[in-house]
Amino acid sequence: MNTKVSELPRLNDLKAVPDKNVSEFLEKGHTLVKNILSPDEIAFYHPVIVNAARRYNTEKRKMEDRDTYGKAFLQIMNLWRCDETVKQFVLSKRLGKIAADLMGVENVRIFHDQALFKEPGGGPTPWHQDQYYWPIDNNNTITMCMPLIDIDVDMGMLTFASASFTKGAVFDFEISDESEKAFDDYVKKGQFPISRATTMKAGDATFHRGFTIHNAPGNQSDKMREIMTIIYIADGSRVAQPKNQWQINDQEKWLMGKPVGELINSELNPKVL
């Protein structure tokens, strides 16, 4: 595909977030916003993102040779730094404004993006909290997950424990079999309502807080579940003291080694609006 950046839809027009989505996000820590991209816009960006993900995917192992994390999805990160066409999607004002409105902030910055492609026969994604990995000094973080094709429950639909973000970090576990067992017990004991969409159209997107506990079943279909994610943080956030090795790694990799207490404003973390 040889699509030029100038030919791509800009995605810089702003769309109002329905009040019901804002209320749901505040209460539950997650919401599904529909029709963010039109069918024509997805038709442009779908092949752009998929082709970039294929070029930069480094996972070459057979499924049976991977651990639980490796079986869950193919994970290709910060594609916006590798591909100018993907950059236009990731830095689009339309997506950033929705994230900002849901969090109730004036502006957001990019933490990083990641293509999360769950292969046919790919394993489940265990229960986890995203912000376990992030050295950020506040809880005003949000992850957008947009399917690039229509998906249903057989393909590994994102599943949320509603209102589970309120306690902050629950366990000191990375995504693993151990995290699945501990979080599953915690979610059941806390009687958190479980929420999962039945279907999502390409161009719809879920948004969830960094501490919202979530998982996804395995992909039981014969199609690749192609999802593009963008992690946003509130403008004005600062680097927190890392609490684990993963946060030390993220401080160096995604925050360009910014010292603890410094504003998060490196060239890897541009403002969107």
* 192 alpha-carbon distance from chain centroid: 21
Question: Please, are residues 99 and 109 in contact by the beta-carbon 8 Å criterion?
Answer: no
Taking the C-alpha atoms of residue 263 and residue 136, their distance in angstroms, rounded to an integer, is 10
Q: Which two tokens stand for residue 39?
A: 């069918």
Query: Which helix (DSSP H) or strand (DSSP E) does residue 234 occupy?
Result: strand 225-234
Per-residue pLDDT of the chain in tens (273 residues, 90 and over written 9): 455 565 678 899 999 999 999 999 999 999 999 999 999 999 999 999 999 998 987 656 675 666 665 555 578 999 999 999 999 999 999 999 999 999 999 999 999 999 999 988 888 899 999 999 999 999 999 999 999 999 999 999 999 999 999 989 999 888 888 888 999 999 999 999 999 999 999 999 999 999 999 999 999 999 999 999 999 999 999 999 999 999 999 999 999 999 999 999 999 999 999
Question: Please, are residues 120 and 222 in contact by the beta-carbon 8 Å criterion?
Answer: yes
Q: Which two tokens stand for residue 229?
A: 């994610």
pLDDT of amino acid 69? 56
* 128 alpha-carbon distance from chain centroid: 13
Question: Please, are residues 232 and 111 in contact by the beta-carbon 8 Å criterion?
Answer: yes
* 126 alpha-carbon distance from chain centroid: 15
How deeply is 62 buried, as exposed, middle or buried, from its count of CB atoms within 10 A (0-12, 13-18, 19+)?
exposed
* 48 alpha-carbon distance from chain centroid: 18
Taking the C-alpha atoms of residue 103 and residue 248, their distance in angstroms, rounded to an integer, is 26
How deeply is 189 buried, as exposed, middle or buried, from its count of CB atoms within 10 A (0-12, 13-18, 19+)?
exposed
Question: Please, are residues 100 and 106 in contact by the beta-carbon 8 Å criterion?
Answer: yes
